[in-house]
Structure formats: C-alpha cells, structure tokens
Chains A and B, each alone.
Chain A
Amino acid sequence: MRLALISDLHANREAVTAVLADARARGCQQFALLGDYVGYGGDPAWVVDQVRELVSQGAVAVLGNHDSAVAHGALPTMREDARAAIAWTRERLNAEQLRFLAELPLSRQQDDCLFVHANAFAPEGFEYIQGRLEAMRSLQATRAHYTFCGHMHEPMLYHLSGTGKAGDFKPVPGVDIPLLSHRQWLVIPGSCGQPRDGNPAACYALFDTASGQLSFQRVPYDVEAAAARILAGGLPEPIAQRLAARLAVGE
C-alpha cells in the first residue's frame, strides 16, 4: 500500500491542494496526517474539512500542538505570531471543526508504523526532534520499526542500528530509500504548509508499506495565492505580512 505522509499543513489551502493532487497522481491510496492542520495559514476551515474527509475515508490523523492550542487554548511557550494566529483561527472554525480537532489522538499505531506529531517519548510535550539524540530517544521509546512525525518543518530521516548507533540523513527529494527492517527508522516528511528549509515548495513523503521504500517529495504550489489569502484574512497587519513573507522564501 502506498501511503502519503503529510505534516504541518498549517491552514495552507494551496499547498494542501497541490500535495494531495501530487500524491494521488503517484498512485497513493492512503494518507497519514501528522498534525498541525491549522495556524499560520489563511484557510483553516477548508484544511480541517479536507482532513475530516480524508479521515472519513480511512486516513490516520493525529493531534498537533497548534490543533491542541486552537481546541484547548494556547500554550504559554508559543511565540507571538503563533498565538495571534491561534486566536484568529478559533474565530474561523465552527463547533464541529473544533470538536474534530479536540478529539484527535496524540498518536496512532498501525502494524509496524507509529504516527505522532512531535516524538514518541512524550507526545503530549511536543518536544522537537532536533537531532540524533532526540531521534534516538524517540526510537528507543517505541518498538515500531517506522516512526513518522512532523513538528520539525525540515525533512529528515533518522535511523538506529542494531548496535544502538543513530544516524541522520538530509534527504534528497524524489529518491527511493529502502528502509531495511533490520533497523528502526524515524521519518520527518517536512512541512506541507510552511516549509522552512529555504525552499518554498511543499513537503511530503511517500511510503510503500509492502516494500519498505520511502521517498521524500517536494511539490511547488501557488505561494503567491497562499500569501494573498493570509494578507486578506484579517490577521493583525504586521503578523500577516510576516507570515506571507515567510511562505515566499520558505523559512
């Protein structure tokens, strides 16, 4: 089964549209959505509805910190832009959409795959996997061969060998990587709705559950339209400017 892993959609309708179309064109039958459907972007209601529809068709979806903040209130550690976007988002979601977010699980396990927004060692703490040591902590916290998580916006692949040594790898888009079953793997597909590695193209990953082949993908989308939507959305002007500018440069 070909599974598309999509994370950190961040209310970016244009990016989500492009990624879903790309994945379907590549013969993808299933979707795993790794959280942060809202925040930053200009169309949270549309993105949440898309996620709900995919879930109704069998997709996995887990809770992100932005989703949690919109549903339950912002965390004190969140940055100003994020907090403003959260308040603004709440006003744009109806009760049903908010309830959907509130009821999302922190993690889901299917066969050998663990899906979680931030990490496997303490999903509710939303601690970032910034390098090998956190990746190792996360991989050691699960028996699953494959962990898929988001939260970090840059695509990354970590692995843990039988001798307990962790490695990291900055993936090249479009390359098939065989995830051998002899080691554990942690896959961060990168952000769909707010890429931050200097490349504005949307990130996602494809995983073939039968063959263990993984590929990272980059999908160019209409960044200007997404930025225009943010500017027209009614967020406080300087914040909207900043968020729109970040999309354009991918950081």
Chain B
Amino acid sequence: MSQGPASTQDLPPSAPLSPGMVLDGFRLEERLHQGGMANLWRVSRVQPVPGEDLPLIMKVPRIKGGEDPATIVGFEVEQMLMPALKGPHVPRFVARGDWTRQAYIVMERIEGSSLRPRLDEAPLPLDEVLDIGHRVATALHDLHRQHVVHLDIKPSNIMFRPDGRAVLVDFGLSRHDHLPDLLEEEFELPMGTGPYMSPEQVQFVRNDPRSDLFALGVMLYHLATGERPFGQPSSVRGLRRRLYVEPLPPRAIRPELPPWLQEIILHCLEVRPERRYQSAAQLALDLQRPEAVPLTARAHKLQRSGALKAFKRWFFALGHEPRREEASVDEQLSRSPIIMAAVDTQSATPALLERLQEAARRLVHAEPGARLACVSVMRTARIGMDELTDAQGRSVHVKQLIALRHWARPISRALELEDARLTFHVLEAPDPAQAIIDFASKAGVDHIVMGARANSALRRYLGSVSAQVVAEAECSVTVVRAPT
C-alpha cells in the first residue's frame, strides 16, 4: 500500500523538466510558455498511437514554495474535468499524470495565440466584435450543455481553430455539475479574474452558467469600447462595486456604436442573472442577427443611472449577502469543533506565543474531533489576486507560513496530531481583525484563540485587533495575555 497524501508536503519534489526528457511515453520537445500557474511544453509520443494525429502539449503545474493550494487544487480540477469534455470547443484531452510522481495534462495543442493580444488593439471594428462574440457564445453553449460552467472566461482563455471555431481553455476554476467541486471549500476569496467576475461569483456562487455570459459581456464591452466596464479591481470591496455601480453605457464612450450592440452588452452585464440572457445560445442568436434585437431602455442610455438608483442597488446588494452555512452543517460543526488560532508570528513576544500555544493545545485536546486552523494575517494595502504572484509578497507569505508551522509544531507533537487535523493559512488583507473575523465566519470556526498586545501605548496607537474580534466575531473568542 502506498501512503495516503496527508498533506501537500508529502509529495516528492519533482525533478526540473528539461527538453528530451520522457514522461510516461511523452517526450518533452520544447517549453512553449512559462505562466504563473503552469508551464506548457510541446511534446510528442515516443511510440505514436495509430490514428492519433494531433499536435500535443503538456501542461505542468508550477508549485511555488510552501503550500500553494490555488495551483494544486486548480490543476486537480482541470485534471478531473478535462477528460469529461468533448467536442470542437475544448482541447482534446489525451492523458494526465499522477500527483505522486509528476502531475501533468497532455492535450491537443491549439495553434496560434489567444484572443489576449487583440485586446490591446481595442476598440475593434464592429463586425469583428460581433464575430468574436458569436463564436465564443457558441463555444460556451456547447460547454454549458456538458454541465460545465467555465467561470474564468477572458481573452487569454479563448483560442481559435483554423476553421474559426472558438476553443475554451484553462478549466482550473470551472465547475462540473456532475463532479465534485474541489474548489468549493478551499478558498476564502472570490475565485475568478477581477475584471470579468460576475456579481454572483463575487458572492461565491459557482454553479450558474449565466456567470460566463456576464464575463463575455465584459469582454465584448472592452473589445467594442477599448475600456473595461468595471476597471481592474484588486480588492473584494472593489469587486463588490459591480453589485450596485453600473458600467458607463458603451455608447457614452463610442457614440457611433449601434444601440443594439449596447442592448446586447448591457443585457449580459445585468447584475441579477435572471435579467441576463438565459443561455449562451440566445446570446449567440442575437449576435448573429443583431437587427432583430428588441431594443429596450438599455439601448438608449447615455449615462449611468442616477445616484438614487445606485443607492437602491447598493442597499439591495447589502441585503443580498448569501448565507453559506446550512443548519445541518452547524450541527455537525458543534460536534467536532474547529479551533482557530490567530497568531501574530511577526510581532508577538515569545512569552505570548508560548501562552497562546498552551491555550490552543488545551482547546484542541478537549475534543477528540477538534481541528486546529492556524492563521496569521499578512497585512497588505491591496487584496491580492493576480498580485499574489508578486515576488516580494510571495516571499513574505512563505515566511509567515514557515513561522506559523514552527509555532504549531509543539502542539502538533504534544497531541500527536495528524497533519490533516492541522491547517495553516496566511491571509492577505489590509485589516487583520476583519480578516480574522471573515475567515472564522466562512470556515465555520467555533472558537478563536488569539493573543492581545501587552504594550498599551502601542495598542492605543494601532487599535486592538483582539478587541475588534471579540466584539464582532460570530463565535467564542479566547484572548490570551502574556504574564507581565
């Protein structure tokens, strides 16, 4: 029996790949692309399979230092989803590599570049915008009919076959209705690409195909006007603005655009999915026959709705916060509590860190089913999404993770905890107290244990993180102080 993957740290370090290497019968020819999440290699079969006449690429995940769930789980999702997909609008799946040796996906290579470079040339001619929109909507409909929501539709994930048909790539954030959603429980931030994310995606809904139509609407807006309808927000707060702030109507930027195009684009960009196109096929139809598009008030607007409407939408957006925890989950949580230790590894004194260790150990010890989530907050000006790859931020993140593991080691040893009962999370947020409160709420934490700053002058100056957590967290909070 091989050992179970108790944690990502159990994985063997993968040898660096180089041209000429052979992996499971695939020879690495040349590295085509080095991306943030994965490298792409042109590969060929050592022993050609009769009848398989495809140029092949191998996608290999880039596992960065420390724990990197975003890359790992995203790649797992893609490995799980791709074999289930078929048809001309996805790259044909060929093989996948096991995580215990070398994770990879071998698939059909789609020649040419993505739609990304065209974005720099926006605004594009009207005919081309329509044509691109139609081809992508057709591809999306095919995908949706295969029970899949892409959830990361953007120009860099769209390619074209020589015959013009659009091919959707990168299924790392996708959701298949008939397969487990590995991402559902994994992350505390909305998943997607900032400019393209639908309002419901910002609110953690991952199963609505109309989210992809919103993203396509963003793309069409950009291709038609040369501007992004919602800018390029990098914080959750910035993302949430699209729940209540309307984009500027496209014709306010380019008055020569036809009203029907504005109608189509703003129809895609409706905040509530039930007010959007109900299927990609309906959208494709309108793009194909724009003269038939029934024009509504959307088509004729030349400015954003007034302040009162925006306020109403903002108010609605506040009340629209979806509750994720169900009653039965609450019951189960109370039986096996999740303890969260919020540890300030960077500035807490050794005495306080030790006290905190002792308090966390006792809490976990009290319940055989208890879980310990060790959390530290990396203070940032912006909440990272694409910014996470920023080298300096990355190294601070890893450093905090190492410190957190170091802090927890005595607890883990004293209680003989298996790795899976302990998790480590470095949150990147501008406001530590809020980050702790949000994490606790989303993760269903039963009990937070954290330290309080001893120095009262410093506390007065910086404000008390623990006081805010005690006041605002939904669960019990134990505040530990070091002896004076």
Contacts and interface: CB of A to CB of B under 8 A. Distances in A.
Given A112-B2, A131-B329, A167 B185 contact: yes
B420 A140 contact: yes
Contact of B76 (A134, A137, A182): A182
B185 A181 contact: no
Given A140-B420, A143-B3, A181 B99 contact: yes
A177 B181 CA distance: 11
B79 A180 contact: yes
A133 interface: yes
B4 A142 contact: yes
Contact of A178 (B3, B72, B80, B103): B80
A144 B184 contact: no
Interface stretch (B14-22, B330-338, B457-465): B330-338
B5 A109 contact: no
Nearest to A168: B180
Interface residues of B, number: 46
A143 B328 CA distance: 28
B208 interface: no
Interface in B1-30: 1-8, 10-11
A180 B2 contact: no
Nearest to B82: A178
A227 interface: no
Interface stretch (A59-67, A89-97, A154-162, A243-251): A154-162
A140 B421 contact: yes
- Per DSSP, chain B at the interface is loop
A171 B180 CA distance: 8
Interface string B164-186: 00000000000001111110111
B179 A182 contact: no
Contacts of B76: 180, 182-183
A66 to B, nearest CB: 25
Contacts of A139: 420
Nearest to A166: B185
A174 B10 CA distance: 33
A79 interface: no
B175 to A, nearest CB: 12
A165 B423 contact: yes
B83 A181 contact: no
B7 A167 contact: no
A144 B84 CA distance: 26
**Which interface residue of A134, A139, A159, A183 has the most chain B CB atoms within 10 A?**
A183
A140 B372 CA distance: 14
A110 to B, nearest CB: 9
A178 B1 CA distance: 20
A132 B332 contact: yes
Contact of A181 (B72, B98, B182): B98
A133 B332 contact: yes
Contact of A175 (B4, B103, B179, B369): B179
B69 interface: yes
Interface residues of A, number: 39
Interface string B79-99: 110011000000000000011
B131 interface: no
Contact of B182 (A133, A144, A167, A176): A167
**Max chain B C-beta neighbours (<10 A), residue from A134, A157, A167:** A167
A216 B98 CA distance: 23
Given A133-B332, A163-B69, A169-B180, A182 B421 contact: no
A161 B73 contact: yes
Interface string A106-149: 00010110000000000000000011111011011011110000
Contact of A140 (B73, B103, B333, B418): B418
A179 to B, nearest CB: 9
A160 B99 contact: no
A137 to B, nearest CB: 6
B423 A144 contact: no
Nearest to A139: B420
A69 to B, nearest CB: 25
B1 A131 contact: no
A184 B1 contact: no
A181 B181 contact: no
A172 interface: yes
Interface string B183-207: 0111000000000000000000000
Contacts of A137: 336, 369
Nearest to B184: A167
Which are the 3 A-B pairs with shortest beta-carbon distances?
A182-B99, A169-B180, A162-B8
Interface of B: 1-8, 10-11, 67, 69, 72-73, 76, 79-80, 83-84, 98-100, 103, 177-182, 184-186, 328-329, 332-333, 335-336, 369, 371, 418-423
20 contacts: A132-B329, A136-B371, A136-B420, A140-B421, A157-B180, A162-B6, A163-B67, A163-B186, A164-B422, A164-B423, A165-B185, A166-B185, A167-B182, A168-B180, A169-B181, A176-B84, A177-B178, A181-B100, A182-B99, A182-B103
